[in-house]
Amino acid sequence: MKAVFLDAASLGDDVDLAPIRTLVDDLVIHQLTAMDERLDRLEGATIALTNKVVIDAELIDALPDLKLICVLATGTNNLDMVAAERRGIIVRNVSAYGTASVAQHTLMLTLALAARLPLYQTDVRDGAWQRSDIFCLLDHRTLQLAGKHLVIVGSGELGSAVARLGETFGMRVSFAARPGNEANDARPSLTSLLGDADVLSLHCPLTEATRGLIDREALATMKKEALLINCARGGIIDEDAALAALRDRRLGGLAVDSLPVEPPREGHPLLDALHEPLNLIVTPHNAWITPEARQRVVDLTADNLRTWLTEEHG
């Protein structure tokens, strides 16, 4: 039984693929795979392993031996699920592998914005502390998290982990009702919570209901000192509107770990704005990348493979 891993580089070079390797007769590993290389590399494979390589209907129909697609991520938007189902190909993904890692990263971003770290680091770099008439700098008003209101969109395992960390800092935590399902959700709507939020942290999937969720109108209802954290997906916030609010001092801080197009080869306004004196942080979609989380992806994929083999062969 042949398995082909199309983009092993997406997990780094320090993970152990032995849990997968021991379950198949032949594991072929490619660090990266271009679109025009997919067919040749998957020919004769029973199992395709992919993180972000696209497996579309045309490719699926050209691979008669393919029986299982393992996605080494939570999102399956790189697959044509309808085509896979039509062909009887099983698709398995992984979830909850990076809860501790992403929650830790979220808190790091929150703490950094609350301390106005980007602004003070720029001041120190530019010599403002060295020229100060007193022993410290007081130019940027910081935010003490204790007693403040943390509003979270997304009450799954990740959102709940962030809530627990927020509570250890003495924050009051509220979960917003699921966007698009407010009528059937007993929790308060995001709209009703925005005006009282000191920190808004997003941990929901990108769907039609959440695309542009934090737009110009939503931002206008928030406190001007509020912090906005997006460790979910690019596009859930209107990045242009958020940047405008930050520049106009209608938002206290902005931190994102993802952008609508990744990698952002054509650039992005938030990347350009990093040169400005703003309380802004952009991290390169790496909230999840602790070694423990990346190894967990492999281990969960091996579990998926083992379950499929049992179901397939008994």
First to last CA, the chain: 16
Does residue 85 sit in the same domain as residue 179? Answer: no
pLDDT tens, 212-236? 999 999 999 999 999 999 999 999 9
Closest CA to 129 of 115, 142, 140, 114: 140
- pLDDT tens, 127-143? 999 999 999 999 999 99
Tell me the H-state helices in 93-148. 99-114, 117-125
Residues 105 and 92 in one domain: no
Same domain, 34 and 153: no
312 assigned to active site: no
pLDDT band at 313 (very low <50, low <70, confident <90, very high): confident
pLDDT in tens, 47-71: 999 999 999 999 999 999 999 999 9
Q: Same domain for 146 and 265?
A: yes
Asked if residue 314 has pLDDT above 70, the reply is no
Domain tally, the chain: 2
Strands (E), 23-131: 26-29, 47-50, 68-71, 90-92
The verdict on 308 and 251 lying in the same domain is no
Cα separation of 37 and 126, whole Å?
48
The answer on pLDDT for 296 being more than 90 is yes
Decide: 55 and 70 in contact? Cβ < 8 Å.
no
Rg (CA), the chain: 22
What is the C-alpha separation between 116 and 258, in angstroms, rounded?
20
Burial status of residue 196 (CB atoms within 10 A of its CB: 0-12, 13-18, 19 or more): middle
Clarify whether residues 77 and 142 are in a common domain. Answer: no
Active site residue 249: no
Asked if residue 175 and residue 269 are part of one domain, the reply reads yes
- Amino acid letter at 126? D
Q: Can you give the residue range of the structural domain that contains 9?
A: 2-97+291-313
How far is Cα 296 from Cα 278, in angstroms, rounded to an integer?
A: 36
CATH code, domain carrying 24: 3.40.50.720
The one catalytic residue in 233, 268, 294, 296 is: 233
DSSP state of 148: P
pLDDT of residue 75: 84
Let me know if 233 is a catalytic residue. yes
At 269, is the secondary structure helix, strand, or coil?
helix
**pLDDT the model gives residue 213:** 97
- pTM of the full predicted structure? 0.91
- Domain shared by 12 and 148, yes or no: no
Indicate the pLDDT class of residue 148, thresholds 50, 70 and 90. very high
Q: Which distant-in-sequence residues (6+ apart) come within 8 Å of 157 by Cβ? A: 96, 99
8 A C-beta contact, residue 183 and residue 177:
no
- Which listed residue (87, 149, 250, 285) is catalytic? 285
Domain identity same for 121 and 236: yes
Is the preceding omega at residue 263 within 30 degrees of 0, hence cis? yes
User: Position of tokens 């501790």?
Assistant: 100
Catalytic residue among 262, 276, 292, 312: 262
Assess whether pLDDT exceeds 90 at residue 183: no
Residues 252 and 306 in one domain: no
Question: Distances from the Cα of 204 to the Cαs of 18, 68, 103, 236, 303, in angstroms?
Answer: 32, 27, 13, 9, 25
Distances (CA, A) of 120 to 116, 128, 136, 250, 269: 6, 9, 11, 19, 22
Q: What angle do CA 112, 114, 120 make, to 5 degrees?
A: 65
